[in-house]
Amino acid sequence: MKCLSFQPKNNDCDFERIARFQKDMNIRTATLCAERAEIITRSFQETEGEPIVIRRAKAFADILKEMTIYIQKDSLIIGNQACRNFAAPVFPEYSYDWVIEEMDEFAHRSGDSFQVDEATKQRLRALEGYWIGKTHKDEVLKNLPLINREAEKQSVLHRGGISMSGDGHIIPNHDFVLKYGFGGMRDIAKEKLTHDDLTEEQRDFYQASILAMEGALTYIKRFSELALQEAKHCTDEKRAKELEALGEMFATFMEGGARSFHEAVEAVYMTHLLMMIESNGHSFSFGRFDQYVWPYYQADIESGKLSKEKALEIITHFFIMTNSLNKIRPWDHTQYSGGYPLYSNLMVSGLKPNGEDGTNDISYLCLEAMNLSMLPEPNLSVRFHEHTPHSLMKDAAKLIRKGFGMPSIFCDEVCIPAMQSLGLDLAVARDYASMGCVETAIPGRWGHRATGMTYVNFGKILELVMNNGMDPESGVQLVKLNGEPGRDIHYESYEEIWQAWEKLLAFYTGLAVDCDLVCDRSLKYHDADAFASCTVNSSLARGKTLKNGGAEYDYVSSSSIGMSVVGDSLAAIKKLVFEDKKLTLQQIRDAMDHNFEGLEGAKIRKLCKQAPKFGNDDDYVDEIVADVYESYLKLLPSFKTDRYGKGPIGCTYTMSTSNITSYVPNGFEVGATPDGRLATKPLNEGASPCLGADKEGPTAVINSISKLPNKRMAGGQLLNMRFSPNALDGEENLEKFTRFMEAGRNKNIFHNQFNIVDSETLKKAKAHPEEYPDLMVRVAGYCALFSTLMPEAQDAIIARTELSW
């Protein structure tokens, strides 16, 4: 066993079994499962004409009653999403055309490949006819304005998952779920249904909630029977007793509240699993795990029913089991989210709502569990503040030093004010958690999706600024900046270029919000998720799904990509053209048109590359990058979500730089840029500097990031840094790194995450993936096995600056 600081005192944790379980999960193969698609198709055929929320609840119950179930060998945590480990179920109600069109290509993808046997292909193809014209994607395309389609041709906007899958992005109120259980939630819906003053929408919702909760309880009882049956035939005495105990637990599990620590952890996993069976959204997250399971842990420890060692084993099994789940996406969306990510964030430590430190035994055990599991899910995060124990940060640093990208860290002194910028009370803001990558939300009180709406390619908008609003690739021109058609530009000053930037940014932001509204209105029907909605405050009280306004709060953000590229490019133009007058704007654009080729192009690119770059603590460019953020932030107050005026507090937009791997495919669509970046190369990731631009070390990066409006980034601000393993070698360097993380508190750093791997190792792993099957990296706001990423995403990680002291 490789411990961080935890030293076991007894044999309650079977470390050999954990190692075996982890290995089995790590060598999994991604496949497709046709069961869910077949069951929901049959169910929908039988319920034609009924309210959609009831149809979906009936289908959900049918799926849970009929799907294959199994108990993972060795696991103390039970529940499966599909017929096999790491098989992705298919959700035809959201979109289906791409499943059929790409079926024979799934196994040949350069990243996120899926093996699909011929029998499964035939079963899925047999369902195609029913879903033609009936899916969420069909509805979106029917209502998407023509001008939005033109903006997509320009590669400025990308609809992403919200146009073809479920919404996901929920942190349940786990305290509520653990207190009442699925049976208690069903009973609340039954009581509500007795009221005489209900609207038709409310009646439908409560009936659907009852169906969904009863379906969940049926699913649980099936596992009770299976566990007891397997116990009778199990030749391993220890395992037979475990299966018998699980069978007895599951006989009445979740009919009421959780009765033990083991039940509490199982209930958290089961709730997560059921939401993923109900909808194929992602970023279903666990919130502040150490806070809501603490009472169950404390009670069992004090009563002598539980030891720390057994608690560690249960948590580790829970962590490993989250990696049995999977999701398949069409290839164009897979490029935006490579590495089979589910973005299931789990957060520990941080301030409690009353201002006290929330660090407890579970906080440390979660770090140790991740050390033992070393798998991409859950996406582990640590909150810290002035009074966070240094020992916790040291354990986090030890885990980061292992080199697999976990945990990421969030600074309360920055994140809490960011949440307050939305108008939240201090006590509410203190309870934030990360949802998905780095999106921030209040657990159990937020609607779907803090961020991840329509993708906006800032790099492409800059390219349009340099071409009078015309996209050189497609020839589409929606805005004529000089009032005339064609690509001619006439900028007499930097201020005129800035005005052009602001004009186009406002125009395309408006189109992105229009796209969001089209997708949201379709999801109100196609993603009517009674089960998931019941887990979030106010939905049961109001009798509404989250998409219809059931949540207590509602704030969203589009995904903005390329702020550092834009800032570096504007700095180069300002410096080289309007101040030093070394180049004309036409010279830069001509060189860009030819991708800086030829002797003249190379000379111009050298000058562009020498211009100030974000990430080096240079006020000249750092202030311009901050201006880019401000230009977007000032637009947001005028935009409202579809839930505005329908119940939730807020219903407005915030800003986020959580853009997953989209900075790579968005870069495919952008020609050469004035900062010297070559055509089709990645844009910058999150708030991080452009690839290779940061030359002055980690402190300079932090100082540049500190100048951004981080305390207003309520949707999440992402910083990714890569350190040489030597930088963390030994106790002295480990302590230095720990202090470096803690210093973010005084440097206005919202979030930070780290890869501790050298370039040579990454290059070898790309060339010989079979020799590095366990190499996990921090991709964006999530981790993935390096071998599962498409080559372009691997190259982008290799190109990140390798920092040292």
Confidence of residue 624 (pLDDT cuts 50, 70, 90): very high
pLDDT digits (tens, 9 = 90+) for 521-558: 999 999 999 999 999 999 999 999 999 999 999 999 98
| Residue 450 pLDDT | 79
* Residue 587: domain span: 458-509+562-642+660-692
Residue at 484 is within a domain: yes
Range 148-159 average pLDDT: 97
In a domain, 570, yes or no: yes
pTM: 0.97
Q: What is the mean pLDDT of residues 507-528?
A: 97
Q: What are phi and psi of 516, to 5 degrees?
A: -55, -45
Q: Whose structure tokens read 């080729």? A: 597
Say if CB 266 and CB 72 are below 8 A apart. Answer: no
**pLDDT for the residue numbered 60:** 98
Residue 683: C-alpha distances to residues 149, 462, 661, 791, 793 (Å): 23, 12, 10, 16, 11
DSSP notation for 114-181? -B--HHHHHHHHTTHHHHTTTSHHHHHHHHS-HHHHHHHHTTSEE-GGGGTS--------HHHHHHHH
User: In the prediction, which pLDDT does 28 show?
Assistant: 86
Q: In 3-state terms, what secondary structure has residue 785?
A: strand
Residue 377 belongs to some domain of the structure: no
β-pair partners for 439:
435
DSSP codes of every residue in 60-71: HHHHHHHS----
- What's the rounded Cα separation, in Å, for the pair 78 and 263? 11
687 in a structural domain: yes
Residue 500 pLDDT > 90: yes
Q: With 60 as the cut, is the pLDDT of residue 1 above it?
A: no
Q: What is the mean pLDDT of residues 671-678?
A: 98
Q: What confidence category does residue 714 fall into, taking pLDDT thresholds of 50, 70 and 90?
A: very high
Q: Give the whole-number percent of the chain exceeding pLDDT 90.
A: 94
pLDDT digits (tens, 9 = 90+) for 267-297: 999 999 999 999 999 999 999 999 999 999 9
DSSP 578: I
Spatial separation of the C-alpha atoms in residues 714 and 419, rounded to whole Å = 5
* Cβ-based neighbours of 497, under 8 Å, separated by 6 or more: 465, 491, 570, 573
Q: Sign (positive/negative) of CA torsion 344, 348, 350, 351?
A: positive
The dihedral region occupied by 391, where left means phi > 0, alpha psi between -120 and 50, and beta the remainder, is alpha
* Res 473: pLDDT: 95
User: What is the overall mean pLDDT for the chain?
Assistant: 96
pLDDT digits (tens, 9 = 90+) for 44-90: 999 999 999 999 999 999 999 999 999 999 999 999 999 999 999 99
Domain count, the chain: 1
**pLDDT for position 539:** 98
Query: For 768-804, what is each residue's pLDDT tens digit?
Result: 999 998 899 988 888 888 999 999 999 999 999 998 8
pLDDT above 80 for 2: no
Report residue 622's pLDDT band, with 50, 70 and 90 as the boundaries. Answer: very high
CB atoms under 10 Å from CB of 234, counted, come to 16
Which pLDDT value is given to residue 780? 84
Digit-coded pLDDT (tens) for 81-118: 999 999 999 999 999 999 999 999 999 999 999 999 99
Q: Which of the two residues, 325 and 28, has the higher pLDDT score?
A: 325
**224, part of any domain:** no
**What average pLDDT does this structure show over 668-682?**
97
Indicate whether 500 belongs to any domain. Answer: yes
Please report whether residue 471 resides in a domain. yes
Highest mean pLDDT out of 446-455, 740-749, 793-802: 740-749
For residue range 355-409, list pLDDT tens digits in order.
999 999 999 999 999 999 999 999 999 999 999 999 999 999 999 999 989 999 9
**491 in a domain, yes or no?**
yes
- Taking every pair of Cα atoms in the chain, the longest distance, rounded to a whole number of angstroms, is 84
Local confidence band at 449 (pLDDT 50, 70, 90 cut-offs): confident
Give residue 663's pLDDT: 92
**What is the SS3 assignment for 700-758?**
HHHHHHCCCCHHHCCCECCCEEEECHHHHCHHHHHHHHHHHHHHHHHCCCCEEEEEECC
